[in-house]
Amino acid sequence: MKTALALLLLAVPLAAQNGGGPASRLAGRVPPAALPAIDSLIAAAVAESLPSEPLVQKALEGSAKGVPTDRLVNGVRRGLLQLREARVIVGRAMPDQPLPEAHIAAVAAAIARGLDPAIVERLLTIAPNESPGPVLHAAADLVAHRFNPDSAADLLVAAHNKGLHGIRLLDVAVAADHELQRAGGRTHAEALARVRALLPNVPSADTPSTVTRRATKGS
Amino acid sequence: MMAMSPIDPRLQEALDGERDPGTLPVDLREAYARLMGAANLLQTIPATSVAARVMAEIHDLKPEVEDVRPARRVVRWLSRPRAVTLRLRPAWTLALAAGLAAILLMPTQPMNGPTAGPHEGIAQFVGHFPGARSVEVVGSFNDWSRGSLHLQDENHDGIWHAAAVLPAGPHEYMFVVDGERWVPDPLAGRYVDDGFGAGRENSLLIVRPTQTFADEDAARR
């Protein structure tokens, strides 16, 4: 199986993506009836110094899925609102500093995953100058596995204070999930306590260079 | 040092053809005969150049006694200076330069699969779709475009798979089965509402960079 996978490695033509401005990328892809409204939402994001790429992606996604025009526009509008909310959160976490678009986009993505804004703001403040994406996704992973949001944030702050940064914080969330699933069973609180005791030596969840997916069934 | 004796004027005149040798005294007549014989002999010997004589001397030299040990012979052959003359036609010189440039500019990555850079990772997609005619992955990494990343099922066992080099970071995606059915990856582990109000979720993939954690730690220090 591994050999077959190796032989079937395919390169995605990434060079084509992100080429040109939003208008040229949307033309021919977005239904003409939705295009004026979407163009104006993207223009509003640009005017407010918000990242426009998440909105372009949302418009392309909805168009590819054949989402009806009204829902497509609403989806893009919802993305703009999340970006605005994210900018407020980042501004509070990084007062008197220019707000990086990448931070705003990462916070908007965390909000879209359902992470509580207060948790997001707390995690932003532990390392304002680091990319917040990994720690926010780690927190969202823990919350998705029904860990208490505040306890999950406590664990990630502790991990950061023990020297774990960036993508390694995702391993903390994976380790907590593994502890939860151990034979005999652990409560969520026990799993968090167990991982906290391991810090900073949580196992790496995967090789750094690959994301291996297991065979999926069903569908 | 031997002094050169002056030649008799009568002998000189006979050698110059101004006097009949028969009129010379007997002793001068013998000297005349020896000198003319020597002159005739010089005319019959071909002229020999200095270079030819030097080369003849070289050929006559006895060869050096060669060391029979192969290693020492090789070392001696390699260390001995030798004159090398290289003649190139301009056309061949240009062809050689073009060939070298092509080798230097050729991509160095292996041809048997994608190679991820330091800010990229390799994502593998696998799904079980028995009876499907086609499966592809569509997501934020390819602008949600159809047709750029198809999964393969070469064994016809319903297991479809593909791999791709993607930028490190989060990517939302879905499988598209038979060109029309949008399906989330059931074991993606992470999902996010797609925001279009129908309760559909995208799968979320976080690609890890190829840069090792040790590299990251070293860079941080």
ipTM of the complex: 0.85
What integer is the mean pLDDT of B84-94?
Answer: 64
Give the CA distances from residue B220 to residues A154, A164, A166, B175, in Å, rounded to whole numbers and listed in that order: 24, 11, 11, 38
Query: CA of A60, closest CA in chain B: separation in Å?
Result: 6
Query: CA of B220, closest CA in chain A: separation in Å?
Result: 10
- Asked if B159 is an interface residue toward chain A (Cβ–Cβ < 8 A), one would say yes
Q: List all residues 6 or more positions away from A197 whose beta carbon is below 8 Å from its beta carbon.
A: none
- The residue with tokens 């390694």 is A168
What integer is the mean pLDDT of A19-31?
Answer: 84
Highest mean predicted confidence (pLDDT) among A74-88, A123-137, A190-204, B30-44:
A74-88
- Asked if A46 is an interface residue toward chain B (Cβ–Cβ < 8 A), one would say no
A26-40 in b/e burial notation, b at 16+ Cβ within 10 A? beeebbeebbebbbe
Q: Write out pLDDT tens, residues B134-179.
A: 999 999 999 999 999 999 999 999 999 999 999 999 999 999 999 9
How many contacts, defined by CB atoms under 8 Å, are there between A and B?
187
| Residue contact B125–A206, C-beta within 8 A | no
* Mutant choice from A52, A178, A207, A211 vs B, greatest count of B C-beta within 10 A: A211
Q: How far apart are CA B201 and CA B199, in angstroms?
A: 7
- Cis upstream peptide for A13 (omega within 30°): no
> What mean pLDDT, rounded, does chain A reach?
86
By C-alpha distance, the chain B residue nearest A80 is: B195
Q: Is the pLDDT of residue B190 over 90?
A: yes
Q: Is the pLDDT of residue B90 over 90?
A: no
Question: Which of A10, A79, A208 shows the shortest C-beta gap to B149?
Answer: A10
| Residue contact B194–A61, C-beta within 8 A | yes
By C-alpha distance, the chain A residue nearest B210 is: A209
- Asked if B148 is an interface residue toward chain A (Cβ–Cβ < 8 A), one would say yes
The bridge status of strand A210-211 relative to strand B120-128 is parallel
- Asked if A71 is an interface residue toward chain B (Cβ–Cβ < 8 A), one would say yes
Q: Is the pLDDT of residue A219 over 50?
A: no
Q: What is the DSSP string of B85-114?
A: -----HHHHHHHHHHHHHHHHS--S-TTS-
Query: CA of B73, closest CA in chain A: separation in Å?
Result: 50
Name all contacts of A127-131 with Cβ < 8 Å and 24+ positions apart.
Answer: A127/A160, A127/A165, A128/A93, A128/A94, A128/A97, A130/A165, A130/A166, A131/A102, A131/A103, A131/A106, A131/A166
- Asked if B178 is an interface residue toward chain A (Cβ–Cβ < 8 A), one would say no
Q: Is the pLDDT of residue B112 over 90?
A: no
Q: What is the DSSP letter of B126?
A: E
CB contacts, 8 Å: A134 with chain B:
206
- The residue with tokens 């070289």 is B58
Q: Is the pLDDT of residue B5 over 70?
A: no
Domains, in order of start, for chain B? 9-44 (no CATH), 120-213 (2.60.40.10)
Q: What is the per-residue pLDDT for B24?
A: 82
